[in-house]
């Protein structure tokens, strides 16, 4: 009701009761909407926090996997180096036994590349780089298994090669030392065994070596690697060289005109050690050559 100052006329304004209901209804709707909005916002916030947490966890996993892959790549590199060493060792073996290794090197390198290329090292890493949220556990596990297997094979191969090198080198040393060539280019005039006495032409005597007739001054060579035990003059054998070859073998070279080595010298198979002559008890220019095994004379013809 509205009452003016002069009270001349009193006016009354009537507000209909339904309008209060409308306002109350609007207020109620607004409250419900607000509550719903707050609830929805809260849910959205929770989802956001969960997602953020998941992303952080995935990032951590990815970082760990990145380190693992880097370590595995390092291991792959080490294995690669080990394989290269093996190939090198294999080359040494082939070279030692006088085999050409060019073709087989290519094969080895190809095999090596094949072994490495089946490992998903680079591919896996690129997958990781491109898609940051991939779980690479399976790839890492496969890579680990392959690397361990390859590493074991490599070490076993290396051990085998090292052992082969040792035994082949021993064998080669034996072959270098054992008398195995003729000491001089010449005609054999007398073999090992009983023969007529060349000085009296009567009766027989045992000839402990092989005689080679050759022109005066012809080269006399060591028949195997060894060390000079004696180089000097002997009443019967004249200017003489005795070489110790190891493995129970000694060789002697007699009646020389000149000696080119001295006691203690290391000599190689084929090295010139003296010149043919007729010094000592000799009927003509020739080389008298003997081979002893464990101190006993053996037929030198077995060792040409
Ligand atoms: Zn003789």
Residue 194 in any domain: the answer is yes
Residues 111 and 223 in one domain: no
For residue 2, the CA-to-ligand 1 centroid distance in Å is: 164
Query: Over the range 184-208, which residues count as b (16 or more CB within 10 Å of their CB) and which as e?
Result: bebeeebebeeeeeeeeeeeeeebb
Contact in structure between 218 and 235 (CB atoms under 8 Å):
no
**pLDDT tens digits along 187-198:** 999 999 998 777
End residue of a domain, out of 123, 147, 177: 177
The whole-angstrom separation of Cα 123 and Cα 164 is 37
| Residue 232 confidence (pLDDT) above 90 | yes
Averaged pLDDT of the chain: 84
Q: Which residues contact 179 (CB under 8 A, 6 or more apart)?
A: 223, 224, 245, 249, 251, 291, 300, 303
For residue 299, the CA-to-ligand 1 centroid distance in Å is: 12
Residue 32 in any domain: the answer is no
For residue 287, the CA-to-ligand 1 centroid distance in Å is: 7
Residue 2 in any domain: the answer is no
End-to-end CA gap in the chain: 149
Residues 235 and 161 in one domain: no
For residue 9, the CA-to-ligand 1 centroid distance in Å is: 173
276, with CB counted inside 10 A (0-12, 13-18, 19+), is buried
Residue 18 in any domain: the answer is no
Q: Given this model, what pLDDT does residue 142 score?
A: 84
For residue 302, the CA-to-ligand 1 centroid distance in Å is: 16
Residue 164 in any domain: the answer is yes
For residue 236, the CA-to-ligand 1 centroid distance in Å is: 11
Residues 60 and 169 in one domain: yes
Residues 57 and 143 in one domain: yes
For residue 209, the CA-to-ligand 1 centroid distance in Å is: 6
Count of structural domains within the chain: 2
Domain span including residue 135: 49-177
Residues 201 and 290 in one domain: yes
Residues 173 and 194 in one domain: no
Residue 8 in any domain: the answer is no
Residues 115 and 86 in one domain: yes
End residue of a domain, out of 143, 177, 211: 177
Residue 62 in any domain: the answer is yes
**pLDDT tens digits along 177-216:** 999 999 999 999 999 999 877 766 677 899 999 999 999 9
Q: Given this model, what pLDDT does residue 108 score?
A: 47
Residues 116 and 191 in one domain: no
For residue 190, the CA-to-ligand 1 centroid distance in Å is: 7
Residues 62 and 98 in one domain: yes
Tell me the backbone φ, ψ of residue 38, rounded to 5 degrees: -60, -40
Q: Is 73 helix (H, G, I), strand (E, B) or coil?
A: helix
For residue 30, the CA-to-ligand 1 centroid distance in Å is: 134
End residue of a domain, out of 151, 177, 203: 177
Q: Looking at residue 202, which CATH number applies to its domain?
A: 2.70.70.10
For residue 211, the CA-to-ligand 1 centroid distance in Å is: 5
Residues 119 and 237 in one domain: no
Chain position carrying tokens 């596990």: 141
Residue 19 in any domain: the answer is no
Q: What is the mean pLDDT of residues 207-235?
A: 97
Q: Given this model, what pLDDT does residue 137 score?
A: 81
The whole-angstrom separation of Cα 178 and Cα 158 is 30
Residues 65 and 148 in one domain: yes
Q: CB neighbours (10 Å) of residue 292?
A: 19
């Amino acid at each position: 009701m509205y009452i003016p100052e002069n009270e001349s006329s009193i006016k009354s304004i009537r507000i209909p009761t339904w309008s209060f209901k409308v306002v109350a209804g609007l207020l109620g709707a607004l409250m419900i909407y607000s509550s719903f909005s707050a609830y929805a916002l809260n849910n959205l916030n929770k989802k956001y926090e969960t997602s953020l947490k998941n992303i952080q966890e995935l990032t951590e996993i990815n970082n760990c996997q990145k380190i693992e892959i880097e370590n595995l790549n390092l291991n792959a590199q080490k294995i690669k180096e080990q394989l290269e060493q093996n190939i090198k060792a294999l080359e040494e073996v082939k070279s030692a036994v006088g085999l050409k290794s060019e073709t087989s090197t290519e094969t080895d390198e190809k095999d090596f590349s094949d072994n490495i290329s089946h490992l998903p090292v680079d591919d896996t890493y690129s997958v990781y780089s491109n898609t940051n949220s991939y779980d690479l556990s399976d790839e890492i596990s496969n890579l680990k298994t392959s690397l361990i297997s390859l590493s074991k094979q490599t070490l076993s191969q290396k051990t085998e090669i090292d052992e082969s090198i040792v035994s082949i080198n021993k064998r080669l040393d034996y072959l270098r030392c054992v008398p195995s060539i003729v000491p001089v280019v010449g005609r054999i005039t007398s073999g090992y065994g009983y023969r007529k006495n060349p000085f009296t032409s009567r009766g027989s005597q045992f000839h402990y070596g092989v005689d080679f007739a050759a022109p005066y001054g012809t080269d006399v060579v060591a028949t195997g690697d060894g060390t000079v035990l004696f180089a000097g003059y002997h009443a019967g054998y004249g200017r003489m060289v005795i070489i110790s070859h190891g493995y129970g073998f000694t060789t002697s070279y007699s009646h020389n005109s000149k000696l080119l080595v001295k006691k203690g010298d290391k000599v190689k198979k084929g090295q010139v050690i003296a010149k043919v002559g007729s010094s000592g008890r000799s009927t003509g220019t020739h080389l008298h050559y003997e081979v002893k095994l464990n101190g006993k004379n053996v037929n030198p013809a077995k060792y040409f």
